[in-house]
Amino acid sequence: MLSNKIKVGAIALSLSLIPLLADYSNQADSKILSSKKIVSDSIAKAVTLNQGWDWETQQNFWFTTQGSRFMPYNWFLWLEQENSTELFRSPKNMERYKYIPQKPTKINPHGLPIGFVKDINKENKKDKWVGLTCSACHTGQVNYGETAMVIDGAPTMADFQTFFKDLEKSMKETQNNDTKFKRFSINVLGENYSDEKAKNLKSRFFKITNSISDRNKLNETKNPYGFARVDAFGQIFNMVSAHDLGVAQNKAEPNAPVSYPFLWDTPQSNLVQWNGLLSNSGIGPLGRNIGEVLGVFGTLDIIPGSFTGYPSSAKIKNLNALEKWVQGLWSPKWPENYLGEIDLVKAKRGEEHYNNSCLSCHSIIDRTSPDRRVNVTMVGLKDIGTDPNMAINAGRQGSTDKLDGKPISNIEYLLSGELKESNTFKAKDFKAFILANAVEGAMVRGLLEHSNIPIDNLKSTNIEDLKKELQKLMVATLNEVDNLKIAKSDFNPIATPSYKARSLNGIWATAPYLHNGAIPNMWELLKPSNKRVKSFYVGSREFDPKHIGFDMKKDKEASKFDTTLYNNSNFGHDYGVDLSKKQKWELMEFLKTL
């Protein structure tokens, strides 16, 4: 049974303000990670900051499956790199993509990086996969000197796109290189190895290699994302409307990559995603988490008009647990013992500049209050002036194919007993509505399976009897649910394109800035648009405490960020740019206190 009450409808959220400049000296505690779980030759000490989680909660968040599956688990353990006998999953290679390596623990016995987890097929316990969980994209690492600070809920520095391109290359080389495949098959099959089993393994290997290749082709882009960005919505739309629905022409270039949003205060916000596309009321939290799974190799079988939902690998119980853990996550406070003390006199003056230039959009909240609520401010494209593509792409449409004429929400149809025009797919409709239908289908099937009532028992020759039977089942299974549906109001792709402004607590740990990661540090953000850096490099975890951001100099692994390319504009958000240099440094000091 789900422990959180899920309701459809608006939830009145209140904003709890704290006295400005209160208790600045009460800096976050930090602690050494047990047994130096982070694996890196470049640091001497790895610490985690006090963000409201104990070690067990942190480990659970890092390594609890949500239903993502990109290749068999044992294959990932033994797959070699394309031009080397070194394992693809080696800490050195994972560090190259800026995923955070770990040493083995009970919950992570093979020492996979943060966010890489084992997923077991509930229908066949021997069928084990490796997949991603929230923490792969929402755990940051800030290095300063010889210390690495792990920031839970912060954006990852990872290059998701290059990782999967290189994974494909390694698989194709293994497939085509007899010597390489022989080593792979001996390791994977172990004592069960035989030439016949190796042959069967290669046949399956070929199919899964092709599936990863097809996924990469589906989401290929003219301009690489580089480090610290991904177009999650574009890829989810492709996976659901093109791959899962089986409509190839629905493919569209996922060309609006954004910085991974930070997670703290997300459950407390009324709207989520940079474009505010999703409501956090009703089934919103569970729905957005299911949608995220579908975008990172979660499986889905769309069955139009099905009242028993769509078979999916999404783990409803685990997703609910992940959401509960995030509810208890705090933003990280500036760690003075590592990054230097805050000048409280400057910060006090900076508070005045913040009130005049920032507070109208970026409210200040009590970061640790369990009752905190965040009513985000949505700022229209005309006013914010930043790159428009992520907001505009939310309104993409596609063919609904076999969903044409079917209910957008099968549960709304079930409960109302009639198919309303407002709840019916057109031949061409918003991809957000196709996603809503997919998410609801996966959610319903997951909840029914969680009730332990066999789906095959839900049979009736009379549709009205079936509706009544399922309605009773919903009440019995979800007795904490007032209503179960994803309505159009939960997905708002036709609203005025805009971007979300939220509380800036912990903002120091979330560079690069703007929704598309086009500004490397906070100092650059305070410059007028036409004075900002035109290009810089992303990929270094070395922190710049003076300018509040990461080192933007070129190194051998960094990716170049060219602000003149499509979706890379660093124009807009011209707030605070008219302050004097002295005032800007005072504002910078205040930002460290949030």
For residue 24, pLDDT over 70 is answered with no
Tell the burial category of 350 from Cβ atoms under 10 Å away from its Cβ (0-12, 13-18, 19+): buried
Mean model confidence pLDDT for the chain: 87
Determine phi and psi for 324, rounding to 5 degrees. -65, -40
Q: What is the pLDDT of residue 196?
A: 97
Integer angstrom CA distances of residue 322 from 62, 133, 258, 286: 10, 9, 22, 10
- Count each helix (H run) and each strand (E run) in the chain, helices first: 19, 19
- Rounded Cα distance between 163 and 288, Å, is 24
DSSP state of 394: T
DSSP state of 38: B
In which band, very low, low, confident or very high, does the pLDDT at 96 lie, cut at 50, 70 and 90?
Answer: very high
Q: Higher model confidence: residue 454 or residue 13?
A: 454
Nearest 5°: CA angle at 100, between 97 and 106? 135
The residue with tokens 């405490």 is: 545
In which band, very low, low, confident or very high, does the pLDDT at 41 lie, cut at 50, 70 and 90?
Answer: low
Q: Higher model confidence: residue 332 or residue 12?
A: 332
Q: What is the pLDDT of residue 462?
A: 59
pLDDT tens profile 520-559: 999 999 999 999 999 999 999 999 999 999 999 888 789 9
- Contact between residue 51 and residue 31 where contact means Cβ atoms under 8 Å apart: no
pLDDT above 70 coverage of the chain, percent: 84
- Rounded Cα distance between 112 and 108, Å, is 7
Tell the burial category of 465 from Cβ atoms under 10 Å away from its Cβ (0-12, 13-18, 19+): exposed
How many CB atoms neighbour CB 577 within 10 A?
A: 15
Specify the pTM: 0.89
Q: What is the pLDDT of residue 66?
A: 96
In which band, very low, low, confident or very high, does the pLDDT at 14 lie, cut at 50, 70 and 90?
Answer: very low
Write out the two tokens for 267.
Answer: 């459950």
Instruction: Give the largest Cα separation in the chain, rounded.
Output: 76
Q: How far apart are the first and last CA of the chain?
A: 37
Q: What is the pLDDT of residue 413?
A: 82
How many CB atoms neighbour CB 528 within 10 A?
A: 10
